[in-house]
Amino acid sequence: MHRPKVVFWVPLGPPSTVQRCGMNRKMRILLKASGQTLAGSQGFGLDPDAVLALAQEIIEASERAEVAVVVGGGNILRGSESESFGIDRVEADNVGMLGTAINGVILRGAITAQSNRDVRLMSALPMTSVAEPYIRLRAMRHLEKGRIVVLACGIGQPFVTTDYPSVQRAVELEADVLLAAKNGVDGVYDSDPAINPDAERYSVLSFEEAIAKGITVMDPAAFILAAEHNMAIRVFDSSAKGAIASILAGEPVGTLVSA
């Protein structure tokens, strides 16, 4: 039986619930954490402070909602950087997917070290000594039992960043919203705020507008898939302390991209 799709939610106090047709249930979110979020200000590798801060945000969110996390691997290698190493794009994407597994193990350890939460790392690529294989129904069962689910290796395929897999996993797991945590980006702007000091941030943006305007904060393919399945995406700054808790409380943090 499918969970009822949420059109909007009304915060009812911790633990957060969503309301539709008079029925209340716990909210389910999918957090997309880019590799840069784990790298912090250094932009590459792993920053212990950034990792621990993200882990704490996830722990706090898990008190109020069911939480799945898709981790990126751009802090280790991006597929688009393949030419720099003289390797083809498929090999570079394979390295990137393995990078997400490294980030997943680190994040799982950081969450466990700071809480008593049960954390499951699931991988789209077989690595049974490190992570469970990703099986949709098993992942949903973990979430229903209150476990934090960390998802690594994208969808196990090259030529896509973790933006598209994050939308796909959000749809598969019947999440109520996808939270796209971007390092140093507090939403979607009408122009590059680093170049244009008068750039204005959108509070709400439709999928059609995001695609038509060529918004690059996420892959266009991710927006198209989200639009097809009416999966709302909230883009926010991962370095803003308490941002996820504020979103769960119904505050208009960042930019909401939806139908």
Domains of the chain: total: 1
88 close to 82: Cβ distance less than 8 angstroms: yes
CATH of the domain at 91: 3.40.1160.10
Tell which residue, 258, 72, 117, 59, has the closest CA to residue 178.
Answer: 258
Residue 21 pLDDT: 42
| Domain-embedded: residue 10 | no
38 close to 53: Cβ distance less than 8 angstroms: no
Residue 13 pLDDT: 38
Three-state DSSP at 181 gives: strand
Residue 5 pLDDT: 52
The label of the residue with tokens 């695609």 reads 211
| Domain-embedded: residue 9 | no
Mean pLDDT split into 10-residue runs, the chain, 259 residues: 49 46 75 91 88 95 96 83 83 91 97 96 95 97 97 92 93 97 84 85 92 85 93 91 92 92
Give the pTM. 0.87
Furthest CA-CA distance within the chain: 58
| Domain-embedded: residue 4 | no
- E strands within 15-164? 17-20, 23-33, 65-71, 119-123, 132-133, 148-152
What the block records as the tokens of 166 is 């994050």
Three-state DSSP at 178 gives: strand
E strand or H helix at 210: helix 207-212
Residue 22 pLDDT: 45
56 close to 113: Cβ distance less than 8 angstroms: no
| Domain-embedded: residue 180 | yes
Residue 174 pLDDT: 97
Task: Tell me the CB-side half-sphere exposure of residue 239, using CA atoms within 13 A.
Answer: 16
Residue 83 pLDDT: 78
Q: Which residues contact 173 (CB under 8 A, 6 or more apart)?
A: 28, 30, 68, 136, 139, 140, 143
| Domain-embedded: residue 224 | yes
Q: What's the CA gap between 230 and 252, in Å, rounded?
A: 19
Domain hosting residue 129, numbered range: 26-258
The label of the residue with tokens 């934090």 reads 148
| Domain-embedded: residue 17 | no
Residue 81 pLDDT: 74
Tell which residue, 135, 148, 3, has the closest CA to residue 67.
Answer: 148
| Domain-embedded: residue 193 | yes
Q: What's the CA gap between 49 and 40, in Å, rounded?
A: 8
64 close to 29: Cβ distance less than 8 angstroms: no
Q: What is the 3-state secondary structure (H, E, C) of 105-130?
A: HHHHHHHHHHCCCCEEEEECCCCCCC
Tell which residue, 106, 101, 222, has the closest CA to residue 161.
Answer: 222
The label of the residue with tokens 């991988």 reads 123
Residue 14 pLDDT: 41
